[in-house]
Amino acid sequence: MAINRTSSHGEWSSRTAFILAATGSAVGLGNIWKFPYIAGENGGGAFVIIYILCVLFIGIPIMLSEVYLGKRGRLNPIASINYISEKENRSNKWQIIGFIGILAGILILSYYSVIAGWTMAYGARTAFGVINDIDAAGAALMFTEFISDPERLLAWHTIFSIITIIVVSRGVKSGLESAVTRLMPALLVLLIALVIYSSIEGDFYNGIRFMLYPDFSQITWKTVLVAMGQAFFSLSLGMGALMVYGSYLSEKISIPQTCVIVASLDTLVALLAGLAIFPIVISSGLEMTQGPGLIFQTLTVAFGAMPGGQLFGTLFFILLIFAAWTSSISLIEPMIIWIIEKYNLTRIKAAAIAGGMAWLLGIGTIVSFNLGSEVKFFNMTFFELLDYITSNILLPLGGILISIYVSWLVSKDSINAELQIKSKILKLIWYISARVIAPIAVIFVMLNALGIDINILR
Ligand code: PHE
């Protein structure tokens, strides 16, 4: 079948547009909501160092491979891989990578949208002055009351889902480029302002010490593996999001540099979020290990106390909602393009189907914070289970398959042509990382995810 391989979804207007879109996908709740709370739960400094190593040696090599697949395949994730496999005489079973990605995207979106809903609710509370002068105990109580009300959570989840569906049904690129161009820099500026506030009002010394001073005695293999899962999540790796964005890349653009820029921006935002949050956690006597509520409680205390906090906090939450929204688009997009290309449906219908599925599943997450908080699967609530299956199983599995497929099974000529890594040393580093280091490291994540205790290296 002859496929028109350039017109099916068009191209980014420039390299910068791709960088912005990929950064829009990467930077989101993962950096600002999830990174601080899992770093907090896993002891701080040593976790942060391991996280950075994972980004460098596992994340970036896999990212190159993933963008390569999209750029060469130029279709939805499943069809792209089938196209490449046909050209390279490889089995069509590799399309499983695409299926894993599409599934992971919808599963993540289902709870991502619930948390994005929390962000909207807190934005509204901040705007209306509800949190003015709130103390740490008040913030903790407010959060507990908030998540124990399923109707409220459902309402916000529904609003966020509808916005996402409306936006993606109009096509990803119109709007996304310009939104990201303006809003990402603004988010960065606000985050830096928050770090400055935190350095003045918070316990900056102990906050930074918590975040940067590595206490390796706290580290177990489990911690290493959680850090790795977070690297996948935060960089949007292993599920086809970057593959889809890569498929809009024009032929001329070189992949490696772009990937390094995206990964650096993503890591910068996560670290700034940590620098902003931890000092306030300490100075206000909140717990580092309180889990998903960490930023909501910490930020309300900070915005409630800071001069102009009502305005500043509202702006901050609005920008965070936008960051979550640009990430959600990339979570849902692989499934949408797949439905459009495979079943010939309109974009609007595809968006409604994919978004509807995520919305429905999201109800499970909502209930796991209140009515169903006692319902456990392998000792985890429904939300924790979903997070576990996606971050610790599906994304790493997708990532390892992508890395192996590209670095072992695709012809070197094609890789050289698309990746255009000029320096021989860098090329060697990429090959070693993608072929050996990343797959082996990721296997540890998988073993851990399956509950196998790895004692050999301890
Ligand atoms: N990287 C996004 C974030 O950090 C979440 C995401 C994961 C988006 C996987 C796309 C794919 O918020």
pTM: 0.93
Task: Give me ligand 1 centre to Cα 186, in Å.
Answer: 19
**DSSP labels for 46-64?**
HHHHHHHHHIIIIIHHHHH
CB-defined site of ligand 1, < 6 Å = 25-26, 28-31, 108, 233-234, 236, 239, 241, 327, 330-331
Locate the ligand 1 atom nearest the alpha carbon of residue 28 and give its number: 12
Choose among 36, 41, 30, 27: nearest CA to 195: 36
Task: Give me ligand 1 centre to Cα 20, in Å.
Answer: 14
* Ligand 1, atom 4: closest residue by C-alpha: 30
Q: What pLDDT score was predicted for residue 129?
A: 94
Residue with tokens 């609003």: 159
Task: Give me ligand 1 centre to Cα 88, in Å.
Answer: 30
The CB density around residue 430, as the number of other CB atoms within 10 Å, is 19
Task: Give me ligand 1 centre to Cα 236, in Å.
Answer: 4
User: Which residues in the chain land under pLDDT 70?
Assistant: 1-10, 13, 172-175, 445-446, 449-458
Residue with tokens 């161009």: 181
3 state DSSP class of 215: coil
* Ligand 1, atom 7: closest residue by C-alpha: 236
In a mutational test of the pocket of ligand 1, which residue from 245, 267, 327 has the highest number of ligand atoms less than 8 Å from its CB?
A: 327
In a mutational test of the pocket of ligand 1, which residue from 67, 234, 244, 245 has the highest number of ligand atoms less than 8 Å from its CB?
A: 234
The residue type of 186 is A
Q: What pLDDT score was predicted for residue 4?
A: 42
Q: Dump pLDDT digits (tens) for 50-80.
A: 999 999 999 999 999 999 999 898 888 899 9
Q: Dump pLDDT digits (tens) for 297-308.
A: 999 999 999 899
Task: Give me ligand 1 centre to Cα 26, in Å.
Answer: 5
Residue 455 Cα distances to 29, 45, 58, 224, angstroms:
33, 23, 22, 13
* Ligand 1, atom 6: closest residue by C-alpha: 236
Task: Enumerate domains of the chain plus CATH numbers.
Answer: 15-384 (1.10.4160.10)
Task: Give me ligand 1 centre to Cα 327, in Å.
Answer: 5
Residue with tokens 């190159």: 64
Alpha-carbon span 334 to 21, nearest angstrom: 14
Residues 6 or more apart whose Cβ sits within 8 Å of residue 189 = none
Task: Give me ligand 1 centre to Cα 235, in Å.
Answer: 6
The CB density around residue 236, as the number of other CB atoms within 10 Å, is 30
| Phi and psi based region of residue 183 (left: phi greater than 0; alpha: psi -120 to 50; beta: remaining) | alpha
Sign of CA dihedral 423, 428, 433, 439: positive
Alpha-carbon span 439 to 238, nearest angstrom: 12
